[in-house]
Structure 1
Amino acid sequence: MKYTIKIHKISTVDDLENAWNTKDYKELLRRFDFTNDDVNDSKELRELLFMAIADRDPSEAARIVLDYKLSDKMNEHQIDSVSYEMLVDKISEEYPRIGLHKTLFVINQLLYKAFNGKFPNTKATIIDFDITPKANADETITKEIALKCFTQNLDSHNVIIRLFEKQLNGEEEFDEADDIIWEIKKNENSYRLITSDYFMSPQEFLNEEFEAKITFFAED
């Protein structure tokens, strides 16, 4: 399948819009013993939560937030371990389970801002682009299609290219694509893709416009 891609904008951000809502803030405040039922404004709740977080030991605060967001994905020992590792390592980039990277990113950044930089700062990459199928190419743009196209426009040292060569070449199924790409949305005729800066950084892109030919894994 062939596609032509035109990149309009590549942005680097240290937070994701709507990653946390009023319900999240209120529940976290409760867990930090800082409940205030009189406040309903999201911005004010966030400021109160930052105060509550900053009153705790960093690893203890991390453990509370990790338990809230990931207790269904991690056991108590894993949460405890990650709560300490987060202080020195970019866990949202290094954790073996790629499917948890997005959640670990929003947790890390909440703690990073609450503690004014005691946690490592991590980034996300947002790409606004057009993609046009050629000939009989699939018109439904999936995460796998987008990822396979974009890796053909990245520096050869890119981590996806190095780690997933067989998947990119269609020699194996590429289930990891759904986790590497955090989000892809269509807005009229354009698309917006969000991923970790670890997987795609703005400096790695080669051209604003390019053509990509991709293949998919097919079982014998």
Structure 2
Amino acid sequence: MKYKIKIDDIHTVDEIKEYWTNEDYVQLLEKFNYPDAEDSKSENLRELLFMAITDFEPSEAARIVLDYKLGEHLSEGQIEQISNDMLIDTVCEEYPEMELQSTLFHINQLLFKAYNGKFPSSSATIIDCSITSLDKNNDANLTKEMLLRLFNDGLSDRNIIKRLFEEQMNGSVEFPEAENIIWDLQISNNNHFKLTISGNLIKKEEVIASEWEGDIEETEDDS
């Protein structure tokens, strides 16, 4: 199946505020011993949380937020280790369980903002693109795996995804990691795609073409 890929916009962000809801803020404020958080105005919750967080030592604050978001996935020992490591390294870029990297990014950047830079900063890359089938009878729904493969020819050879997952990107083997490499995927008007990916995995400057054509084979899992 042949497709035309056109990049509409790429930008780098150091946080995605929409990830955190007012309910998250209220519950975290309670965990940071802020009384009656639910009675506060919604527009003040984020700043109140930042003030409450900074009353704690950075590693302790990290432990609290990690336990809130990932307590069901990580042991107490893992949370303790990560809470200390986050002060010296961008754990979200290197954590071996890829399915947790996006959540670790959001936690890391919340703490980075609250402490005005005491935590190392990370980034996310947001790609807006249009992908159009060049085959008239093609009605396949593009999966995350297919999307990454279509990006293969538009990425620099220095790109870490191309280097770590060469066979997967070429379509030689299955690519289950794609589900966690693309953190968020929004599709509108059938052919417009918005991808959110770790800035460590795709940097803005590594997208070296604004338009190109890609060819991928449809598998039973893709149809």
* TM-score grouping bracket, smaller chain normalisation: over 0.9
Measured in 2, the distance between the counterparts of 1:204 and 1:137 equals: 29
| Match in the other structure for 1:127 | 127
Instruction: Tell me the CA shift for residue 38 of structure 1.
Output: 5.5
Residue 105 of structure 1 aligns with an amino acid whose one-letter code is: F
TM-score, normalising length: structure 2: 0.92
| Match in the other structure for 1:22 | 22
What secondary structure does 2:174 align onto? coil
Measured in 2, the distance between the counterparts of 1:160 and 1:20 equals: 28
Alignment of 1:23-172 (within 5 A): 23-37=23-37, 39-135=39-135, 136-137=137-138, 139-172=140-173
Instruction: Tell me the CA shift for residue 3 of structure 1.
Output: 1.1
**Residue ranges of structure 2 left out of the alignment (5+ in a row):** none
| Match in the other structure for 1:174 | 175
Deviation string, structure 1 residues 17-76 (Cα, Å, up to 9, x no partner): 421111111111111111234534333111111011111110000000000000111111
- 1:99–1:152 Cα change, 3 Å: same
- 1:3–1:88 Cα change, 3 Å: same
What secondary structure does 1:18 align onto? helix
Instruction: Tell me the CA shift for residue 167 of structure 1.
Output: 1.3
Measured in 2, the distance between the counterparts of 1:19 and 1:37 equals: 19
- 1:26–1:4 Cα change, 3 Å: same
Deviation string, structure 1 residues 165-207 (Cα, Å, up to 9, x no partner): 1212223211100000011111224221111111111110111
Measured in 2, the distance between the counterparts of 1:58 and 1:121 equals: 14
**Residue ranges of structure 1 left out of the alignment (5+ in a row):** none
Aligned pair partner of 1:200 in 179, 202, 210: 202
More moved, 128-137 vs 36-45? 36-45
CA contact (8 A) 2:29 2:37 kept: no
What secondary structure does 1:96 align onto? coil
CA contact (8 A) 1:180 1:196 kept: yes
Measured in 1, the distance between the counterparts of 2:163 and 2:73 equals: 27
- 1:4–1:43 Cα change, 3 Å: same
Instruction: Tell me the CA shift for residue 138 of structure 1.
Output: 5.1
What secondary structure does 1:192 align onto? strand
Structure 2 residue 7 is the aligned partner of structure 1 residue 7 = yes
Measured in 2, the distance between the counterparts of 1:183 and 1:160 equals: 17
What secondary structure does 2:39 align onto? coil
